[in-house]
Structure 1
Amino acid sequence: MRSSARRAARSAGWAAAAVVLLVVLWEVVKAVVPDTGWHVGEASVLPRTDDVAMPHVWDVVTRLGQPETSAAGAPTVLGAMLQAGWFTLRVAAAGWVLGVVGGGLAAVLMARWRVAESALLPWVVLSQTVPLVALAPLVVGWGGRIEIGAFAWQKWMSVALIASYLAFFPVAVGMLKGLQSPTTAQVELFRAQAASWGRTLVSLRLPASVPYLLPALRLAAATAVVGAIVAEVSTGTRGGVGRLVIAYAQAASGDPAKPWAAILAAAVLGLVAAGLVTLLGLGLGRYRHAEVS
């Protein structure tokens, strides 16, 4: 448990160092590259770095504490980001749970029968080639036709379903690799003891899959957030970070720090989601000695 906590603290330290490095690089590029960018002939090598296209980091941070709009009683940009982030995080969490359950069941099915792996795995990989922008209207259209008694499909459910679509892939592939990771000698030992496939799954394959599954769960959490944000934009769902990005982008010319604040909120939300999954994995420290990252 202590080693897991130290590993988590070390990862958090590296993450903080990466953020600091990114800020330094941002300001160095802004100081070195001309406002109009660098061009080779007609080709643009580096983008513009003027204050409209690339505001200073401290301008973005300062903008967080200022009112979102000039209207009386308007919340600060940070307050609006926190409210929108909470909405998106909950929807992404629902999508993550659906993706984890679906990916886990698919992985167990493919690990149990080789023919299932041959039939399903190509489709699992192929599913990730479908763009979300094309998928979102279809999901909204299908969901809008679902009515069971007093139950009516809500737009946020479409967003969660699209988020689960992205979370499904890393869990299915990562867990399948973990379930297949036990050596032949380990599997034969369970067979010699007349253990059923279910007992082998619970006592051998699932514990062996943890080092592969935890990174997949973190990646699934981050991709679920990405899917939720893109789906909010595509479906027009209000209240989340996706619509915040669109709304703030409309003020980019007169308030360039504002859209970058929304982009910052989206990035932080992905880190928070992955961090929460890391905390969930602290209790599985004894299985993580061979964790693959």
Structure 2
Amino acid sequence: MTARVRLARVGYAVAVLMLLLAAWELVKSVVPERGVSIGDQRILPRTGDAALPHVWSVVTVLGERDGAGTVGGTLVRTAGFTLGLALLALVIGTVVGVALAVVMQRFAWVERGLFPYIVVSQTVPLIALAPLVAGWGGKIVIAGEPWRPWMSIAVIASYLAFFPVAVGMLRGLHAPPKASVELLYSYSAGWWDTLVHLRFPAAVPHLLPALRLAAAASVIGAVVAEISTGTAGGIGRQIIVFSQQATGNAARLYAAVLAAALLGVVITAIVGLAEVALRRYNRPAGAAGGGR
């Protein structure tokens, strides 16, 4: 990717952000504070400061005092805690997803029997699963150490992260043309050699987009898990704290929500480093084939 293309992408991202902020202020200036309703159905939201603060209010609130520090400092600290858990969940989800994909590619009967359940697993509401994982974890002791609340958050977030990795990796492992697979077999290459020298490189273009989805899912999972389990220290819990303080002005709440959204940008940028490391393999694998 040339420097000009990178600059253009950054410019597009900044332009979209400016348009969103302009739309935010336009809605606040045009829509009445009580919103617009037809009968009992509200069709446009309320725009008072308690519901939709000005953009500059969200920015300036970062300098307000919050306990021993500022709101901005609190958000940085709590976002850092959540980022660490999201990264751990991404690693766990990636390892589990890749392992499942390899097993399913190796054994067709495992893929036929397991893949539908992998898909169905994502229909379970995370907010319902989180208390169960926290409860089960409280009964686990690892090497004499009790289960920590942050471990439950990492497990719950990895539950969302493994799915796109497993699906993308499995598709990539099936990507090499049948002729290429048969060529390696003709050279007496076993399953492992074929996996390492053909299937893994061919899977990279499918794995990298999946990792981006998994990165975003890990942040969502970590935030929801913090809220669901009541674990303090992360941005999810901080959103709850600020929502309880948003009786007169919701600027702090919006600042926390935007900080959580920025976590997705940060972790996706970290995944981008993997794309740089694997750029030699990040190209189409040719005609798709179903050879095993």
Range with greater deviation from structure 2 (42-51 or 86-95): 42-51
String of CA shifts for 1:36-56, please: whole Å, max 9, x gaps: 222223211121112211111
Change (3 A) 1:235 1:270: same
Find the partner of 1:107 among 85, 101, 104.
101
String of CA shifts for 1:234-292, please: whole Å, max 9, x gaps: 1111100011000000011123201001101110011111111012211111222339x
CA distance in structure 1 between the aligned counterparts of 2:176 and 2:15, rounded to whole angstroms: 36
TM-score by length of 2: 0.93
CA distance in structure 1 between the aligned counterparts of 2:121 and 2:6, rounded to whole angstroms: 32
2:210 aligns with: 216
Deviation at residue 5 of structure 1 after TM alignment: 7.0
Deviation at residue 21 of structure 1 after TM alignment: 2.0
Deviation at residue 191 of structure 1 after TM alignment: 1.7
CA distance in structure 1 between the aligned counterparts of 2:16 and 2:118, rounded to whole angstroms: 33
CA distance in structure 2 between the aligned counterparts of 1:276 and 1:5, rounded to whole angstroms: 19
String of CA shifts for 1:211-240, please: whole Å, max 9, x gaps: 111111111111101101110111111100
String of CA shifts for 1:9-42, please: whole Å, max 9, x gaps: 5544433332222112111222222222222232
Deviation at residue 149 of structure 1 after TM alignment: 4.4
Q: CA RMSD in A?
A: 1.7
Q: Aligned runs of 1:66-105 on 2, under 5 Å?
A: 66-69=64-67, 74-105=68-99
Unaligned runs of 5+ in 2: 286-292
Find the partner of 2:284 among 266, 286, 290.
290
CA distance in structure 2 between the aligned counterparts of 1:199 and 1:5, rounded to whole angstroms: 37
Change (3 A) 1:290 1:34: farther
3-state DSSP of counterpart to 1:44: strand
Conserved in 1, the CA contact under 8 Å of 2:75 and 2:259? yes
CA distance in structure 2 between the aligned counterparts of 1:262 and 1:249, rounded to whole angstroms: 9
Change (3 A) 1:180 1:4: farther
3-state DSSP of counterpart to 1:35: coil
User: What is the aligned residue count?
Assistant: 285
1:167 aligns with: 161
Deviation at residue 188 of structure 1 after TM alignment: 1.7
Find the partner of 1:188 among 174, 179, 182.
182
Find the partner of 2:40 among 22, 39, 42.
42
CA distance in structure 1 between the aligned counterparts of 2:193 and 2:7, rounded to whole angstroms: 35
Range with greater deviation from structure 2 (206-215 or 140-149): 140-149
3-state DSSP of counterpart to 2:175: coil
1:59 aligns with: 57
2:289 aligns with: none
CA distance in structure 1 between the aligned counterparts of 2:7 and 2:218, rounded to whole angstroms: 24
3-state DSSP of counterpart to 1:88: helix
1:31 aligns with: 29
Change (3 A) 1:250 1:30: same
Unaligned runs of 5+ in 1: none
TM-score by length of 1: 0.92
Find the partner of 1:238 among 207, 232, 254.
232
CA distance in structure 2 between the aligned counterparts of 1:210 and 1:262, rounded to whole angstroms: 35
CA distance in structure 1 between the aligned counterparts of 2:6 and 2:83, rounded to whole angstroms: 21
2:288 aligns with: none
